[in-house]
Amino acid sequence: MVYDVYCFMEKEPQSEKETVKRTAEATKTSERTVRRIVKEGSKTWTDGSLKGLKKPISKGQRVVIVHAGSEAGFVPNALLLFQAGTKSGDFHDNMNFDNYTKWLRTQLIPNLPPNAVLVIDNASYHNKQYDPAPTSNAKKADMQRWLVEKGIPYEDSMLKPELYKIITLNKSKFKKYSVDQILAEHNHSVLRLPPYHPDLNPIEMAWAAIKGYVASKNVTWNITRVMKLVKEKVMLMDADEWSKLCGKVKKTEADYFKTDHIVDTVTETLIIYTGDDSDSSSDESVDSVIESEEPTPSTSSGGFSNFMPGVTLLPPDSDDDPD
């Protein structure tokens, strides 16, 4: 999973050092470990923790796996498996928007329980916009049509730059995604994970388990054998294993909530103790704010050190200090 996250981060316009740092933060590993895994992963299909045949893979040997799961296990009959760079039935080349929506309509949606929530990441094929707003290069008539459809007023005498400015101020309110529309047609909804948080997606751990299984069993490096092993592991991953994966994600989510609470409290404390930035504010006005907050454990110096070990707030200035 670490190597996959690094490859995803690497697409961003940033230095290698920043990519390693962000990967370490997202996967909760050290930067040194990330560098080791990346070094090994660039030469082999799996990292050093997995036993099995380590043979470089060309682009023509990759396998595309698409599936969905929950605490009840993998969704029945929803596995899509094909070799990248080849045509497999209605699926071409690699995963893209067309392939993904075909899978949604033909394999996933027919097998989902009522009112399901599909949790997805920020892959490009997840985020194709439905009826996107006109760009700055659009025709003036198209800009006007979009504004009329959305009920946004404009003047007929306005030029394209003026129309586009109105569009940019309003387009976020009308942003919709094609995937969301497809699922909504069947009374399902979508929950998008925050960027760079694969640790909140249990299927990332499922992929790691599948890769480990294939690596431990594959000794011929035959693509047909690889696909057979993938299917075997999918069949072996039952509700009990999936429940454990989901449980790990729930714990990670709870940890994030705790951290967010601490950050919010620290932010509030800093705002309170900063006081008024104006030159006219007196020491007495600052002291009154501090005194009013002292009974609350989360904002007093004692309470603050309780939830942030090693951090101590300075006491307010005393009026008795010598000149």
Contacts of 298 (CB under 8 A, 6+ apart): 265, 269, 304, 307
Same domain, 187 and 118: yes
pLDDT in tens, 138-189: 999 999 999 999 999 999 999 999 999 999 999 999 999 999 999 999 999 9
Check pLDDT > 60 for residue 268: yes
Is residue 172 within 8 A of residue 121, CB to CB? The reply is no
Give residue 24's pLDDT. Answer: 80
Give residue 88's pLDDT. Answer: 54
Average pLDDT, the chain: 78
Same domain, 211 and 119: yes
Judge whether 135 lies within some domain: no
Give residue 234's pLDDT. Answer: 96
Identify the domain boundary among 214, 237, 260: 237
Q: Which of 266, 250, 277, 275 is nearest to 301 (CA)?
A: 266
Judge whether 49 lies within some domain: no
Judge whether 270 lies within some domain: yes
Check pLDDT > 50 for residue 286: no
């300075």: which residue's tokens? Answer: 314
Same domain, 87 and 225: yes
Inter-CA distances, 87 with 58, 80, 94, 126, 171, Å? 17, 13, 9, 22, 38
Same domain, 265 and 297: yes
pLDDT in tens, 80-125: 998 877 665 555 567 889 999 999 999 999 999 999 999 999 888 9
Query: What's the pLDDT band for 223 if we cut at 50, 70, 90?
Result: confident
Give residue 40's pLDDT. Answer: 66
Judge whether 22 lies within some domain: yes
Judge whether 321 lies within some domain: no
HEC assignment per residue over 55-112: CCCCHHHCEEEECCEECCEECCCCCEEEECCCCECCECCCCCHHHHHHHHHHHHHHHC
Same domain, 62 and 124: yes
Judge whether 323 lies within some domain: no
Give residue 29's pLDDT. Answer: 79
Three-state SS at 163: helix
Tokens at 44, concatenated: 């082999």
Same domain, 222 and 77: yes
Same domain, 214 and 302: no
Query: What's the pLDDT band for 271 if we cut at 50, 70, 90?
Result: low
Identify the domain boundary among 206, 237, 268: 237
The single-letter DSSP state of residue 124 is G
Torsion of CA 275, 279, 280, 284, to 10 degrees: 40
Same domain, 244 and 278: yes
Judge whether 48 lies within some domain: no
pLDDT in tens, 183-212: 999 999 999 999 889 999 999 999 999 999
Same domain, 63 and 164: no
* Cβ density class 92-117: b for 16+ within 10 Å, e for less: eeebeeebbeebbeebbbeebeeebe
The CATH number of residue 77's host domain is 3.30.420.10
What total number of domains does the chain contain? 4
Same domain, 184 and 115: yes
Q: How many CB atoms lie within 10 A of CB 191?
A: 8
Check pLDDT > 50 for residue 302: no
Give the range of the structural domain holding residue 267, as residue numbers without chain letter.
Answer: 238-316
Check pLDDT > 70 for residue 279: no
Judge whether 169 lies within some domain: yes
Same domain, 243 and 232: no
Same domain, 24 and 118: no
Of the two residues 279 and 67, the one the predictor is more confident about is 67
Is residue 235 within 8 A of residue 212, CB to CB? The reply is no
Give residue 316's pLDDT. Answer: 53
Query: What's the pLDDT band for 278 if we cut at 50, 70, 90?
Result: very low
Task: Give the DSSP H/E element, type plus range, for residue 192.
Answer: strand 189-192
